[in-house]
Amino acid sequence: MLIDNHGRTVNYLRIAVTDRCNLRCFYCMPAEGIDYVPKKHLLSYEEMLRLVRILATMGISKVRITGGEPFVRKGIMDFILKLSQVEGIEQINLTTNGILTAPFIPQLLEMGIHSVNLSLDSLDKERFFKITRRDELHKVLDTLHLLVKNKVKTKINCVVMDGQNMEDILPMVNLAKEHDISVRFLEEMPFNGTGLRLQDFKWNFKNILAHIKQEFPNIYKIEDAPNSTSLNYKIEGFQGSIGLIPSFSRTFCGTCNRLRLTPQGMIKTCLYDDGVFNVKDLMRANLTNDELQTHILKAIGSRAKNGFEAEKNRKNQKGVSESMSTIGG
């Protein structure tokens, strides 16, 4: 088991397989995109698999594939297949924007994928375009319908943004009425590639809940899964559930069980840190698995207590400004 210096068990790895994306969500990256990492500086699938095999022997049993958009990287399905064959990896989850995802759903099911998080911030074509800068809502909705039809465990991630998608909150909640899905609302974080907030941070999880309560006063709290980042709720008569993710308030750090791997090979022990060490550089310098394990143990043994401490300890003191597509969420 991997246990950090605050007594938290770490058993979950999130892999951002690419920094490239086919959308341009304004809260994640600028309209012109970001400077993509040259291919040779990206971890290869083989390097990712090597790391996963090492981590699986150390206690990591759960993996999430994220990005950028995972489906824009060539060979992703073959990678997921190989990942599903690694001894000790019991659960594979996926986060996707749903643009290219639909045709792969049957294969993902065959590989035993555990759940899919689908990002969807608006059900309105024009607002979707304003947020993502692409006119592709219909593709995301097709993916959602196919996931539901195939009974894939599905969670929707909706970032709440003042002046952008407030009209969507209640229709989004209503998606959980007809479908057994979890609709989760995230606080916006400053990982937009500029570091500047485009609107005031008004919608923390408490205010989002109060907003939902006005329309659904009978919303009630349910038990959260261990290590859950979301606070979960039910509404009488609804098939699905509602979740609130305090991603900026950071109230969930006390039970954090995650490690992150960036497309360039940085190991992060907190979403808000700026990387602990680069595993790609060490692999390419021919370190052995035992030597890599030593670096991993050192990183786990000196984790920040929470996201505020991690942000304060950043080597780059300018604060959080990178694009979330270089981290994976």
Query: Applying CB under 6 A, which residues contact ligand SAM?
Result: 21, 27-28, 66-69, 95-97, 119, 157, 159, 186, 188-189, 191-192, 247, 324-325, 328-329
Binding-site partner at residue 154 among ligand SAM, ligand SF4, none, CB < 5 to 8 Å by type:
none
Decide which of ligand SAM, ligand SF4, none touches 29; Cβ closer than 5 to 8 Å per partner kind.
ligand SF4
- The three-state secondary structure class of 13 is strand
| Nearer residue to ligand SF4 within complex by CB, 120 or 208 | 120
When CB distances are held under 5 to 8 angstroms depending on the partner's kind, the choice from ligand SAM, ligand SF4, none that residue 76 binds is none
Closest residue to ligand SAM, judged by C-beta, is: 329
Query: Among 17, 21, 208, 231, which residue interacts with ligand SF4 (rule: CB under 6 A)?
Result: 21
Q: How far is the CB of 30 from ligand SAM (least distance, A)?
A: 12
Burial of 287 (0-12, 13-18, 19+ CB in 10 A): middle
256 binding partner (options ligand SAM, ligand SF4, none; Cβ < 5 to 8 Å by kind): none
Q: Mask: binding to ligand SF4, 59-98, rule CB under 6 A, as x and -?
A: --------xxx---------------------------x-
Comparison of 10 and 70: residue with beta carbon closer to ligand SF4: 70
Does 160 engage in binding with ligand SF4 (CB under 6 A)? no
Q: Are 119 and 95 in contact (CB under 8 A)?
A: yes
> What CA–CA distance (Å, rounded) separates 58 from 2?
6
Q: Tell me which of ligand SAM, ligand SF4, none is bound by residue 165, counting a contact when its beta carbon lies within the kind-specific cut-off of 5 to 8 angstroms.
A: none
Helices (H), the chain: 45-58, 76-84, 105-110, 125-132, 137-149, 169-178, 205-215, 279-284, 289-300, 307-312
Q: Which residues contact 50 (CB under 8 A, 6 or more apart)?
A: 283, 289
Which residues, 6+ apart, have CB-to-CB distance to 152 below 8 Å? 105, 108, 109, 113, 115, 116
Question: Strand, helix or coil at 285?
Answer: coil
Q: Which does 328 bind (CB under 5 to 8 A by kind): ligand SAM, ligand SF4, none?
A: ligand SAM
CA R_g for the chain: 19
In the complex with ligand SAM, which residue's Cβ is closer, 131 or 299? 131
Q: What is the DSSP string of 145-199?
A: HHHHHTT--EEEEEEE-TTTSGGGHHHHHHHHHHSS-EEEEEE--S-BSS---SS
Nearer to ligand SF4, 89 or 156 (CB): 156
Instruction: Using CB under 6 A, list all residues that contact ligand SF4.
Output: 21, 23-25, 28-29, 67-69, 97, 119, 324-325
